[in-house]
């Protein structure tokens, strides 16, 4: 994929990501509208268009229907396992900074509630769903609802007898 270096040394979005953004813009649809038509979450659709998630074969037809300007080449690119990464200076973007700040501020308490409710473990970021919703608060003002829906993964006690590498060959 082609990339361009910006003045600050960061890498600009790839030509593929730019082409995907253009196709979405030409559709005139939001990530939410595309999500409704494909059965995906709005954040996952955004991940697909940023090449941060892989398009699965069973979703191709509904995505093509939702965004008819996606070319066969772009669909093929979306089906390749992506290189999931982020630009280190992305934290300077105010919305991302505030999200990071919220997780850092509430993180220890969230961890304690997870441990209290589930036991010693973590939330998966692989078996994971994420969505962003807009609701009206009790004061009538718009509010952002971000849902992290991840599988609970308990830590395991590390017993030698369970290690395949330590079992005797038969």
Confidence bin at 159 (pLDDT 50/70/90): confident
Average pLDDT, the chain: 90
pLDDT value of position 170: 59
Other C-beta atoms lying within 10 Å of the C-beta of residue 8: 8
**Closest to 70 measured CA to CA, from 41, 34, 97, 40:** 34
- Spatial distance between the Cα atoms of 26 and 67, rounded to a whole number of angstroms: 8
- Spatial distance between the Cα atoms of 170 and 167, rounded to a whole number of angstroms: 9
**Closest to 34 measured CA to CA, from 62, 55, 69, 74:** 62
Q: How confident is the model over 125-140, as a mean pLDDT? A: 96
Catalogue the active-site residues: 98, 101, 124
Contact 44, 148 (CB under 8 A): no
Confidence bin at 169 (pLDDT 50/70/90): low
State yes or no: pLDDT of 95 exceeds 80: yes
């Amino acid at each position: 994929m082609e990339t361009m270096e910006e003045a600050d040394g960061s890498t600009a979005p790839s030509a593929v990501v730019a082409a995907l953004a253009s196709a979405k813009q030409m559709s005139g649809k939001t990530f939410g509208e595309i999500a409704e038509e494909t059965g995906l979450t709005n954040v996952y659709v955004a991940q697909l268009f940023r090449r941060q998630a892989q398009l699965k074969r069973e979703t191709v037809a509904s995505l093509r229907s939702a965004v008819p300007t996606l070319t066969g080449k772009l669909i093929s690119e979306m089906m390749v396992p992506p290189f999931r990464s982020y630009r280190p200076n992305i934290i300077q973007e105010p919305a991302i900074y505030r999200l990071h700040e919220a997780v850092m501020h509430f993180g220890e308490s969230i961890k304690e509630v997870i441990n209290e409710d589930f036991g010693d473990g973590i939330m998966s970021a692989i078996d994971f769903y994420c969505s962003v919703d807009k609701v009206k608060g009790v004061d009538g003002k718009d509010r952002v609802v971000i849902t992290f829906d991840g599988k609970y993964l308990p830590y395991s006690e590390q017993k030698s007898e369970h290690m395949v590498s330590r079992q005797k060959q038969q």
